[in-house]
Structure 1
């Protein structure tokens, strides 16, 4: 973003975005008395503040009345019109309301969203004072409003695909030739002389503009008009600008040489054009193509001057006269978007999930969300945000509901007088929900304040949302904490949760006095009085807000984000959320047993984020330990912790002095061959002077792929313990297959696993209604297997998948596997001249984030996943863990699973 605007101050003492614009003259009569310069300056700063708030989730503009009126006055028609222009003449009160208190005047601004537009109109994603885009219409140069700019950019972006199908220079050459052949101005442009007074044989048109200047200030006037004419011609098929021709009569008059030298004028024109911002949607990155020529103007062979002719050719992207004038609040400052940022936001669309459309359902779309929102999807077969809201935050039509009840009882038992204090505060409210948390700050990914007993969010009818912070002792930072938390909550409800109604979050800090149980509290409602339209009117509005809250609390960055090249969010299940919501200080050690595909690694990542905020520690104080290097690298790249393998963890010189908290993942495959890892982890996490650190251990006995001692405590000592029983990763055919194999594991457990540790299977909940493929195929030898994989990969790429979707998993990997698969790909390319074969690159799981097919062993791919998995001859070296290994392999596939086995294995096909 560009440099911030110093005349607009974002005030940090409110639980909302509040921009102070300073003194402004108010009242229609008062504003008419102002000089134009001052009136325009005041109008500009108010419009910039409004634009920034519309684009940043909404907020309040605060101004001081510059005039001396003693009574309230209206805003002023010119100020109102500038705000109307921002919202493109939509209902003014849908986005703006005003209020005056003494000499303070407030404009309440709701976040921009496109729900107000009819379906048949273009819906710009953000607001702008000026797009700085121009186009030709007949003989006029017209500025593009936000709506026109949005349509123009969307068309350009869509057409960029065509530009990429042929060499870009060929496209430009063809377009240029067609443009010249069809334009009569081209013949004049090619001449080197014109007669003074000559009438040009064509009029002004979409492709031709005449201008005549006779003053001595020709250079400045030419330089000023160049940006909009070049932008308009470049954006509308190209054209010719003739300077020195009278526009109405088409008469050639020319520019006198003594007014400006041709060399100087040419340099001014070229510099002005080369400075114009332009954005590309294709790979060519070409510059604006133009030619400047000077045609002599003669009268009976006497030189009278010259005509400056500029030919502008069609541009494949968008050419701006200057950077767009669009504003946003970033890092506490009002900043102007750069041209590239503005175009990215204007053209931002939901990702193309055509090949995944049967797997995911949209919960929040960019087409209707606020400018800063990201698309949110839920896995098909799981609850939608509406269902999750009813499960977690249902609103009663008859009374005020308190949730979660278990936390409420805990808090009441821990703090005498708290029940009376909360109930006293709730007396004015009869319908809604009261959501308790030990720290709403931590829930919102902020730092905890240990002086806070709890935070309580009230969502009630006929009231704005209110965040109560209850302190155990007087704390000067209590109000700052509450304000910051409420501010973050409001911003996330809009910009992450997609709430489109008018919204503020009020604050109140309460003090539970030790001297008197129900004693007093200090009120701290925000100093701004919001209009009643910011109050929640009914159950429908409360539920809409709570559904946005569900997205805020349960969303996580989908693993598909890296694959698709854009950020998309998925939603946790209720079970996952409840585990993440645990009180870490009361649960320093926890064993989480999770079935295959139940999201153990996602929960592990979320809990590490919570540890950071609850315990106030840095990433180098949190350690993630797993068995294999690819999973270590995958988590390490998330930049939320230190990540090591078990063997690195157990090195004698590895004492991890800074580490306070440890997360163990895939613990069922740990061993004690290099020492007691569990004892070492307990020792590290219990050495802290402020009490034990966090030690959470994630495991799945069904996926144990060895027969040795794991180092885990016996099941009866794995306490406290939680189970993740809902399979959320895999399509229904694969999930059904996993269940079948898990039954085999339970019937034939390896010797190092007790049957009781597998009882979780009886609670399993499988994915339903998520389509996918499962095929078990026999092949006579390895060559036939790799030929099949090469052929199938070609078809998958042709269907729109990428190498990022595909993994080939074997029992053990050696160079022979890779060489045979690469040989099959090369052979296929020679036989069919397949361009897709050039894209098939094979790497190990260590490079899981790259755009290539992964080829690795079952054990090294443990904890990772891909849409499509080929399993080659899943036979275990230790027969006792055959089904475990097969289960581990199969559970890695989200959508399609192909198990390839030698013909002789098919004699016992029931094994598969």
Structure 2
């Protein structure tokens, strides 16, 4: 079967199929079953993947249209568990082809019981249960109901391991089957003093192939007992007369029989909703059977204990389309899709939710208990919502959780490990700040309040701190989120609050310019600092490394309650150092200054543009690591931002070997540059990847394969060659004059040459040419905030940006790094890039 990609829908081509009742009856059974399996599998995959079309070539050559065939129709009815095929399928025959149009799966056929809504369809659930003396296979509706109830019992602690043990102990106390299980021998023909029941099954040995027979019955019976309170499977007893028959000793290998049973049970699929995650617990007993005082043979008994969650005989027969392939679902995937928490109330981020629940016993139950009254919304977890809002973290807070749900005002929960003073004040202050930001930053226009509620894990599942209830003010009903539209509007405002940051251009434009973090950047910002004390962050050009460095320093200040004098920012060039220093969030120095001084009070270090560092003044990395690790047992933060594509020298950088950079993250989404500039960057970066300089580890360049180039603003790229010096300065002057007339200012422009010597070479002529059109000032990049055009070298402008960049003859004595220099140059320009080459290039 092939998932075809040339259609605006999911279209599965299952090949040749025979149609028509008479034609299908003439097929050999094997072929008929194979064709039916292909059609059913494709239908199931489409039902579970949003719907689509099954395309088939008609193997028969009938001149007139024919019916599908009863066996094919019956397989589709079995799949959807309904006699109404039209509910999900429509059929069309056309020029030797047959099409089945498949609707997306839903619970529409089951309106009679809205509580039973299987979320996926399956040909078989592979779930079994005991009913009286029978083993029954659960269909999708029964399986959904079983899993839903079993999970609810687990969450409600009604089926804990302790309860299961009590149940089984009680079972042993009154069940006579256990008395037989304890025996070492029985008599041939002896009648057992109990019949088959829900917990007891009698089977005889199949003497033709004992091991194969046992291997066949074990999955169904053991899983059924495990799912229905436990029980005993007696092999070697007549089910009607209850006589012990056993199996003649010469016909069975006991060691091999036990191995077959153990292997069959080990292959059962288990799905857990609890945290203990045990396997299927069972015992196998071989009982000697005597006849006339002589050992005749053996009786085999498998004692199965009740299982806490769900046991599948094998993976369900259910499929989905994933990445243009039809994939079968594992039991765990199937169980998760079937009964995951109602998507109308989600817990996110899921990874943090799982991490928190694994760290703190009882946290999942506590939060789930609080969420039960709510639906149609989202619970957003954070280790500290205060830090997310640029407030200080509070010690003792396990996490904060913001509930945004329909028919409720937003509620901020603070969960403490132990009850302590100040918890309610912290939660209230955080909720107030969030409310202010939702309106002032996020732009939410509806009536809104954020309730503050403190929970204490140590007080148990009903815990609520004694400091206060949700809010001392009884807000009007209009402050609740009355419908899904209001929920979505508030979530949109929240996205802006969480992802918003002040642009680097804000200071230059004397106004607040709001940009948004990418999801990659936000995930990096959200990392647990105490668990990620040393981290190497690779970022492609334009992916926002310097922005993230500043955001992380703000977070360090709030998480560790430290001032700017405890945080050190290190870069290679003075212009970037000055730029960061003006933010007043840290001490900022160049690498050379760092190597000259002691920095006794520094606890945390952020290093930016590290690919351009060198070891000429000593081991900067070793010194930085020593400083951040001198406070034991709680070392400081050392995060290093770099981009090997922008390496502008051939010397040793002093970075540890790639294999020693144990903790690494990547920023691969490029968002800063205009589309035309991005295309140029892609070409030059590919050149570097194909032929990297010797001081760049080739493996570090593989991240280019993961690059995402976000659609950007309109811009331009112009490359001009064979120019004289006078032509270059004239072009710069005339282009600037044109841009200034169209709304740009001197603060938007940077003119970058290859070296500081060439900067001086061009400065006088360039200033004279520009001033013929307009009175302007030129200055180097050390003063990024003045009203002037920046004139500096490509290397000294590293880490900075302007809307318009002129690159004057960006050559380098080392030809091996010319592509790197071009990447450095191009990545500095947001909208317009002009590369002007001398005639001797």
Fold match, TM over 0.5?
A: yes
Shift of 1:812: 0.4
- Check if 1:650 corresponds to 2:595: yes
1:650–1:677 CA contact under 8 A, matched in 2? yes
Q: 2:643 aligns with which of 700, 703, 707?
A: 700
Partner of 2:664: 721
Partner of 2:784: 848
Shift of 1:525: 1.5
Alignment of 1:787-798 (within 5 A): 787-798=730-741
Partner of 1:491: 436
C-alpha distance in 1 between matches for 2:457 and 2:607? 39
- Check if 1:749 corresponds to 2:749: no
Shift of 1:468: 0.9
C-alpha distance in 2 between matches for 1:409 and 1:446? 25
Give structure 2 stretches of 5+ with no counterpart: 1-339
1:808–1:854 CA contact under 8 A, matched in 2? yes
Q: Deviations over 1:340-372 (max 9, x none)?
A: xxxxxxxxxxxxxxxxxxxxxxxxxxxxxxxxx
2:542–2:670 CA contact under 8 A, matched in 1? yes
C-alpha distance in 1 between matches for 2:398 and 2:769? 68
C-alpha distance in 2 between matches for 1:588 and 1:596? 24
Alignment of 1:767-786 (within 5 A): 767-768=710-711, 770-786=713-729
C-alpha distance in 1 between matches for 2:615 and 2:771? 47
- Check if 1:618 corresponds to 2:563: yes
Q: 1:842 to 1:579 in 2, by over 3 A?
A: same
- Check if 1:892 corresponds to 2:837: no
Q: 1:458 to 1:624 in 2, by over 3 A?
A: same
C-alpha distance in 2 between matches for 1:410 and 1:767? 31
Q: 1:549 aligns with which of 494, 504, 514?
A: 494
- Check if 1:441 corresponds to 2:377: no
TM-score of the superposition, structure 1-length normalised? 0.54
Q: 1:602 aligns with which of 531, 547, 551?
A: 547
- Check if 1:681 corresponds to 2:624: yes
Q: 2:419 aligns with which of 474, 491, 514?
A: 474
- Check if 1:861 corresponds to 2:803: no
Partner of 2:764: 822
- Check if 1:513 corresponds to 2:458: yes
C-alpha distance in 2 between matches for 1:817 and 1:531? 66
- Check if 1:461 corresponds to 2:406: yes
SS at match of 2:656: coil
Partner of 1:311: none
C-alpha distance in 2 between matches for 1:767 and 1:462? 37
Alignment of 1:35-184 (within 5 A): none
Q: 1:397 to 1:804 in 2, by over 3 A?
A: farther
1:786–1:821 CA contact under 8 A, matched in 2? no
Partner of 1:882: 818
C-alpha distance in 1 between matches for 2:500 and 2:785? 22
Partner of 2:28: none
Shift of 1:702: 0.4
C-alpha distance in 2 between matches for 1:828 and 1:595? 34
Q: 1:608 to 1:827 in 2, by over 3 A?
A: closer
C-alpha distance in 2 between matches for 1:644 and 1:829? 35
Shift of 1:470: 0.8
Shift of 1:398: 5.2
Partner of 1:574: 519
C-alpha distance in 1 between matches for 2:389 and 2:737? 44
C-alpha distance in 1 between matches for 2:464 and 2:506? 49
1:776–1:900 CA contact under 8 A, matched in 2? yes
C-alpha distance in 1 between matches for 2:743 and 2:445? 34
C-alpha distance in 1 between matches for 2:761 and 2:646? 29
C-alpha distance in 2 between matches for 1:879 and 1:399? 58
Give structure 1 stretches of 5+ with no counterpart: 1-394, 906-912
Shift of 1:800: 1.8
1:494–1:500 CA contact under 8 A, matched in 2? yes
SS at match of 2:662: coil
- Check if 1:766 corresponds to 2:709: yes
C-alpha distance in 2 between matches for 1:611 and 1:488? 19
The answer to which structure, 1 or 2, has the higher relative contact order (CA under 8 A, 6+ apart) is 1
SS at match of 1:770: coil
C-alpha distance in 2 between matches for 1:799 and 1:674? 47
Aligned-residue CA RMSD in angstroms?
1.8
1:736–1:766 CA contact under 8 A, matched in 2? no
C-alpha distance in 1 between matches for 2:750 and 2:730? 15
Shift of 1:692: 1.0
Partner of 1:139: none
Q: Deviations over 1:203-244 (max 9, x none)?
A: xxxxxxxxxxxxxxxxxxxxxxxxxxxxxxxxxxxxxxxxxx
C-alpha distance in 2 between matches for 1:678 and 1:859? 21
Partner of 2:751: 808
1:790–1:821 CA contact under 8 A, matched in 2? no
Partner of 1:558: 503
1:818–1:855 CA contact under 8 A, matched in 2? no
C-alpha distance in 2 between matches for 1:780 and 1:491? 56
Shift >6 Å, 4+ stretches: none
2:672–2:712 CA contact under 8 A, matched in 1? no
C-alpha distance in 2 between matches for 1:856 and 1:829? 18
Shift of 1:737: 0.3
Partner of 2:66: none
C-alpha distance in 2 between matches for 1:809 and 1:710? 23
C-alpha distance in 1 between matches for 2:433 and 2:359? 28
Shift of 1:520: 5.7
TM-score of the superposition, structure 2-length normalised? 0.58
C-alpha distance in 1 between matches for 2:794 and 2:341? 50
SS at match of 1:409: helix
Q: 1:436 to 1:827 in 2, by over 3 A?
A: closer
2:804–2:832 CA contact under 8 A, matched in 1? yes
2:392–2:558 CA contact under 8 A, matched in 1? yes
Q: Deviations over 1:513-548 (max 9, x none)?
A: 17x566565452211111111000111101111111
1:774–1:896 CA contact under 8 A, matched in 2? yes
C-alpha distance in 1 between matches for 2:767 and 2:728? 12
2:671–2:711 CA contact under 8 A, matched in 1? no
Shift of 1:902: 1.6
SS at match of 1:741: helix
SS at match of 1:735: helix
Alignment of 1:134-283 (within 5 A): none
Shift of 1:699: 0.3
Q: 1:724 to 1:399 in 2, by over 3 A?
A: same
Q: 1:422 aligns with which of 359, 364, 367?
A: 367
C-alpha distance in 1 between matches for 2:594 and 2:651? 19
Higher alpha-carbon deviation: 772-781 or 668-677: 772-781
Shift of 1:825: 4.3
- Check if 1:628 corresponds to 2:573: yes
C-alpha distance in 2 between matches for 1:793 and 1:637? 28
Shift of 1:828: 6.3
Q: 1:614 to 1:767 in 2, by over 3 A?
A: same
Q: 1:527 aligns with which of 467, 472, 495?
A: 472
SS at match of 2:531: coil
C-alpha distance in 2 between matches for 1:827 and 1:887? 28
Shift of 1:823: 3.1
